[in-house]
């Protein structure tokens, strides 16, 4: 089942390159900022 999900995800990433890049970039920025806030708050 997971193999099928990975296949579909890879196909969508390759088919919609710009949309995928925007989503991956936004997710990366969100995770990074969340980690930075957590690290700042724990000091």
User: Using alpha carbons only, what angle is made at residue 31 by residues 17 and 3, rounded to the nearest 5 degrees?
Assistant: 55
Q: Count of CB atoms within 10 A of residue 36's CB?
A: 10
Q: What pLDDT score was predicted for residue 43? A: 84
Give, as one character, the DSSP assignment of residue 16: S
pTM exceeds 0.85, yes or no: no
Q: What pLDDT score was predicted for residue 42? A: 94
Residue with tokens 């969508």: 12
Query: Counting Cβ atoms within 10 Å, is residue 10 exposed (0-12), middle (13-18) or buried (19+)?
Result: exposed
Q: pLDDT per residue over 2-39, tens digit each?
A: 999 999 999 999 999 999 999 999 999 999 999 999 99
């Amino acid at each position: 089942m997971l193999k099928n999900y990975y296949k579909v995800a890879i196909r969508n990433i390759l088919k919609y390159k710009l949309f995928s890049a925007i989503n991956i970039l936004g997710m990366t920025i969100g995770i990074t900022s969340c980690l930075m806030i957590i690290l700042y708050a724990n000091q």
